[in-house]
Structure 1
Amino acid sequence: MVLRDLPLSGLRALVAAARAGSLTRAAEELGVTPGAIGHQIRQLEDRLGIKLVRREGNGIVLTRAAEAALPDIDRGFDALASGMRRLRFERRAETFTISADPSFASLWLAPRLAMVRPALGRLEVRIVASVALETMAEEGVDLAISYRKGAASHIAALDLFTERVIPACAPALVEGHTGPTRAEVLDRMPLLHIDPTMGDDVYPAWRDWFIAAARQRKDIDQGPRFGLTIVAAQAAIAGMGALLASELVLRRHLDAGHLVEIGGEVPALTIKRRLVWPENGPKARRAAVFAAELAAIADIGIDSALPQ
């Protein structure tokens, strides 16, 4: 029997049912319905022409034939899992994986990637969403761009730059105001929120801004919430409310006049973007070189570093 002929779904259902002693519990383990588990096992029985399970009370038991074959099937799945792990390892060996929040990756990192690409030699670049710094090695991440304050002792780090976090809204929401839009307009304006994502647990929220502005508001936690800053920015442009976000994300919209900054008299909140990597990781040396190249670009200037 060749590999393409192996009824893998039926065999997997049989192993799960044998382990759980119940179609219901097997279905929970595999994330399908009990009916699907029963159907897959019946298809396997029809294909083999032999009975594999029988009902007993509220559960199921294996027939003698299935019980005898189960150790070999188990070893087969273990071998497949081992093969997949080896393939993932080989893939990781050929790639340099960078994790960053999508907004930063699309607006800052991606346009500059070609400038620092030579530091990676023949490695292929792979960019993924933020992961917890503690799980970088497990997730196969070679370099993370994060603004978390703390990091485990086995993590090396290099500062990238500090960003201002500012409030902004669509011009239509502050029509009639002359001069800089002051903080008091936010006492009644709808507020848009950015949900913390993995690695973003220190991102300032509206509560932090109102404290910095020495102002109070009862409904400070109410309003639409967004998982991505770039999506929240589009909602702000559409006039849904004011957004507190990194100036890096908002700058192009501010320059184009799609958004206006609010409360410039209030000391700006800041976040420090950092480059972090497992110091004992398989590509630690390459990560250190790549991080230094990125930091050098940041020293030149966030905008001036871009090729013209």
Structure 2
Amino acid sequence: MTLLRDLPLSALRALAAAARTGGLTRAAEELGVTPGAVGHQLRQLEDRLGVKLVRREGNGIVLTRIAEAALPDIDRGFDALASGLRRLRFERRADTFTIAADPSFSSLWLAPRLGNVRAALGKLDVRIVVSIALDSMLEEGIDLAISYRYSSARDLASADLFTERVIPACAPTLIRNRSDRDGVEMLDRLPLLHIDQTMGDDVYPTWANWFTAAGRKRKNIDHGPRFPLTVLAAQAAVSGMGALLASELVLRQHLDSGQLVEIARDVPALTIKRRLVWPVDGPKARRASAVAMALAAVARAEADGLRSAVS
């Protein structure tokens, strides 16, 4: 038990990596540290155990006979630790329903509507995380993803949530006259604000897509400030930094308040479809399907209400 107290996991990882790679440099690259750090950890482990573990041979290192004999047990120990951690993660998530979505959408649309799907969630607590690649859902323990991406994977089911208009907008102080607002000429001169494409959102329309759809060209189309979140880019647009191309869903509160104005309305808006994706199999697959259908029903009801108000 004394040996297990203050178990030097980092040093044992360094030993296992050195054995796999045959050198301090490659072991350091694998572990994300410096070769000097790997060498220091190995020397500390040798000092603690009182045995020689590695020796230099040419440009690399090899394990001593004692280290070679112990390595299989060390590898099995790491495998057991990984298995235990996976079990802990599974147990922690057993009473949790995890939804992955981009932060802007989560804050502006998803979070305010979780109460509408409480019955579908049952006794599960909701956990919202940032977007992930759809092919990582099972590995990451995601029960439901809300993404612009399509998935053809057989182990994933999907349904449409709604279609969003992607529109250009700017602060009203940047508009000089009505023709400015409706036409496209002002977008030849305004600074352009950009949203960095995040995981699962790399199909989101860019300014290059918009100018192509408008049948226009502009130099330095990729120049301008970039933001990791749409909500941050919207704040920059409100402050008058330039024009922003973004989902009307995210911009709606600023459009309704008059802080932003939709511009270049002579050009038909781009659209993009947001989708619900969930695993077909697994302990919470049925629950995920129920939550997805409940969210889709909320979206349909809101769309029907909007159409009724307009008519």
Tell me if both proteins adopt one fold, taking TM over 0.5 as the criterion.
yes
Q: Report the equivalent of 2:60.
A: 59
Q: One-letter code of the match for 2:177?
A: H
Structure 2 contact 180–186 (Cα < 8 Å) conserved = no
- What SS class does the counterpart of residue 181 from structure 1 fall into? helix
RMSD after superposition = 2.2
The offset of 1:24, in angstroms, is 1.2
Residues in 2 aligned to 1:151 and 1:20: alpha-carbon distance in whole angstroms:
37
Q: Tell me, what secondary structure is at the counterpart of 1:263?
A: coil
SS in structure 2 opposite 1:151?
A: coil
User: Which residue is 1:181 aligned to?
Assistant: 181
Could you list the per-position Cα deviations for residues 136-192 of structure 1 after superposition, in whole angstroms to 9, with x for gaps in the alignment?
222221111112245334322222122111101122222x32477122211111111
Choose 128-137 or 103-112, whichever is displaced more: 128-137
Asked whether 1:117 is paired with 2:118, we answer yes
What is the rounded CA distance, in whole Å, between the counterparts of 2:215 and 2:53 in structure 1? 72
How far the C-alpha of 1:214 sits from its partner, in A, is 3.2
Deviation at 1:93, TM superposition (A): 2.6
Q: Deviations over 1:89-136 (max 9, x none)?
A: 223333211111111011110111122133112222121111222222
State the 1:304 CA deviation: 7.6
- TM superposition shift of 1:208: 2.4
Correspondence for 1:21: 22
Query: Aligned with 1:104: secondary structure?
Result: helix
Residues 192 and 74 (structure 1), Cα distance of their counterparts in 2 relative to 1, 3 Å cut:
same
1:26/1:37 contact within 8 Å kept: yes
Q: Which runs of 5+ in 1 are unaligned?
A: none
1:50 matched to 2:51? The reply is: yes
Q: Which residue of 1 aligns with 2:298?
A: 297
After superposition, residues 239-250 of structure 1 pair within 5 angstroms as 239-250=240-251
Q: Which residue of 2 aligns with 1:192?
A: 193
Decide whether aligned partners of structure 1 residues 4 and 231 sit closer, same or farther in structure 2, where only a CA change above 3 A counts: farther
**What's 1:32 paired with?**
33
Q: Report the Cα distance in structure 2 between the residues aligned to 1:69 and 1:273, rounded to whole angstroms.
A: 53
Give the AA of the match of 2:119: P
Name the SS for the 2:160 alignment partner. Answer: strand
**1:215 counterpart residue number:** 216
Change (3 A) 1:151 1:64: closer
Q: Determine the C-alpha separation between the residues in 1 that align with 2:42 and 2:212.
A: 61
Q: 1:180, 1:263 within 8 Å by CA — same for their partners in 2?
A: yes
Residue 10 (structure 2) aligns with: 9
Q: Aligned partners of 1:84 and 1:97: how far apart in 2?
A: 18
Letter in 2 for 1:21: G
Counterpart code for 1:181? R
Cα deviations across residues 58-106 of structure 1 (Å, max 9, x unaligned)? 2222223222222222221121112112222223333211111111011
SS at structure 2 position matched to 1:202 = coil
Cα 1:59–1:285, aligned 2, differ >3 Å: closer, same or farther? same
Cα distance in 2 for residues equivalent to 1:25 and 1:212: 49
Q: Distance in 1 between matches of 2:150 and 2:49?
A: 59
Tell me if the contact between 2:134 and 2:151 (Cα under 8 Å) persists in the aligned partners: no
Query: In 2, are the aligned partners of 1:194 and 1:227 still within 8 Å (CA)?
Result: yes
> Residue type of the partner of 1:209?
W
Count of aligned pairs between the two proteins: 304
The separation in 2 between residues aligned to 1:108 and 1:180, in whole angstroms, is 31
Measure, in 1, the Cα distance between the counterparts of 2:169 and 2:233: 11
For 1:59 and 1:150, the matched residues in 2 are separated by: 45
Structure 2 CA distance for partners of 1:223 and 1:151, relative to 1, 3 Å? farther
Alignment of 1:89-238 (within 5 A): 89-174=90-175, 176-178=176-178, 181-182=181-182, 183-238=184-239
Q: Residue in 1 aligned with 2:309?
A: none
1:35 is matched by which residue type in structure 2?
A: G
Amino acid at match of 1:217: R
Counterpart AA for 1:38: G
Q: Which runs of 4+ in 1 moved over 3 A?
A: 302-305
Contact persistence 1:137–1:281 (CA under 8 A): no
The 2-side partners of 1:18 and 1:206 are apart by: 50
CA distance in 2 between counterparts of 1:6 and 1:150 reads 43
Deviations 1:191-241, CA, capped at 9 Å, x for gaps: 112232222232122222223333332332332232321121122122221
Q: How does 1:249-268 map to 2 (within 5 A)?
A: 249-268=250-269
Q: Is the 8 A contact 2:24 2:38 kept in 1?
A: yes
